[in-house]
Amino acid sequence: MFYKLIISTTLFCISCFAANDIKNLDSFKASFLQVITSGSDNVIEYKGEVFIKKSGKILWKYKTPVVKNVYINDNFAVVDEPELEQAIFTQLESEINIIKLLNSSKKIDNNSYTTNIEDTDYMIKTSKSDDKIEFINYKDKLENKVEIKFSNVVQNGEISDDIFKFTIPEHYDIIRK
């Protein structure tokens, strides 16, 4: 479930590149608050940072409620779980194509955009003052309502490729899926 949520969220955030009504963002980094609501009262919140480069490199750094780092490079993902001292390596079902996702976004009004990726509809909102991505809403395949709010957004800022490199600690267990 968590991995499907990460993949779905990643697809969603990549689609958010299109929210600026410009199709040429090179990078996006921000703090995030991800709120997942299942049923009427079951809510879980994740906080952390996200880094995305147009080249297909993505890093989700979850800080709460657990520390977890998700490294994605096109169609390959590594989930680093420091608290469990393990890393999970997995091939994604499809390549995350940023250009395709950028081109699929449709502007609804001045600050609203929508896109559909793998039968999931995403609503993207930007700020009125500077067109930075504020939040994304969608329902995942399990009917959970997901909202990701972004703060401290930097678009087209410098992000070193070194941040996307995961070095496996010697004491880690390795899981391949």
Look-up of token digits 């996200």? 50
pLDDT, mean of residues 117-140: 83
77 SS3 class: strand
- Contact, 58 vs 50, CB < 8 A? yes
Asked whether the predicted pLDDT for residue 83 surpasses 80, the reply is yes
Q: Which residue has the higher pLDDT, 95 or 118?
A: 118
Q: For residues 172 and 116, give the distance between their C-alpha atoms in angstroms, rounded to a whole number.
A: 37
Whole-number pLDDT of residue 18: 44
Paired residues of 88 in beta bridges: 79, 175
Q: What is the pTM of this model?
A: 0.81
Q: How far is CA 144 from the centre of its chain?
A: 16
Give per-residue pLDDT as tens, 4-32. 555 555 554 544 444 444 345 778 899 99
- Contact, 96 vs 56, CB < 8 A? yes
- Contact, 72 vs 53, CB < 8 A? no
pLDDT, mean of residues 92-115: 68
Q: For residues 53 and 126, give the distance between their C-alpha atoms in angstroms, rounded to a whole number.
A: 19
- What type of residue is 64? T
Structure tokens at 140: 């995942």
- Contact, 15 vs 148, CB < 8 A? no
Q: For residues 77 and 59, give the distance between their C-alpha atoms in angstroms, rounded to a whole number.
A: 10
Whole-number pLDDT of residue 19: 42
pLDDT, mean of residues 166-170: 94
- Alpha carbons within 13 angstroms on the beta-carbon side of residue 59 total 17
10, containing H or E segment: helix 2-15
